[in-house]
Structure 1
Amino acid sequence: MLEVLVFNDDVTPMDFVVNVLERVFGKSRDEAIKIMLEAHHDGQASCGVYAETHARDLASRAKVCAEQAGHPLKFSVAKATPSG
């Protein structure tokens, strides 16, 4: 399992980040805002934990959305750490 991370930057509009989280990751508006604010305050936030292929696909799709819109928004995948 891999965790998809979104990273804060000082250029990408917050509304755009929320929109990508909703469209690509299927997050509700409230979930997307929470994730965006966490990234904004902490520098990064988890978009969720997914099977490896799905995680890589989601991160890639999100990166393409940002690139096409001309934003430097970054996503990456990392080995998920057990919680608790």
Structure 2
Amino acid sequence: MPDRKEGRQSSVATRDWVEVQEPPLYKALLHNDDYTSMEFVVSILENIFHKSPQEATRIMLNVHEKGIGVAGVYTREICETKIALVHELARQNEFPLRCSMERA
């Protein structure tokens, strides 16, 4: 390889573009139970998942009727954080609300 000290230039191959992949997404799922109040679920959906009151009510009814509902779709780290917040608030309010995630 030529040396610059001797007045020669070296050639360097560069890549002008880098392929970027989107991170995988995960669904945050709320699970129905017989003890958690509907009002608490709506509150969780509004405050943690930033849903409108109408959308939060629709999701809560879906969870109630079907046993499970999608609260939102996020990257893994954000989904894990939201699930931890749901579990902590549920524990503080003495509700057994369960939230899980699965690949979207």
Structure 1 Cα separation of the partners of residues 56 and 86 of structure 2: 13
**Aligned equivalent of 1:57:** 81
TM-score of the two chains, using structure 1 as the length reference: 0.93
Query: Could you tell me how far apart the structure 1 residues matched to 2:48 and 2:72 are?
Result: 12
Q: Which runs of 5+ in 2 are unaligned?
A: 1-24
Gaps of 5+ in 1: none
- Rg larger in structure: 2
Cα root mean square deviation, aligned: 0.5
Structure 1 stretches of 4+ with a deviation exceeding 6 A read none
Count of aligned pairs between the two proteins: 80
Using structure 2 for the length normalisation, give the TM-score: 0.75
Match of 2:21 in 1: none
**Cα separation, 2, equivalents of 1:49 and 1:23:** 15
- AA at the equivalent of 2:95: H
Q: Does residue 2 in structure 1 map to residue 26 in structure 2?
A: yes
- Residue 35 (structure 2) aligns with: 11
Higher helix share: 1
Question: Larger RCO: Structure 1 or Structure 2 (Cα < 8 Å, ≥ 6 residues apart)?
Answer: 1
Q: Percent of counterpart pairs with the same letter?
A: 38
1:34 to 2:83 alignment: no
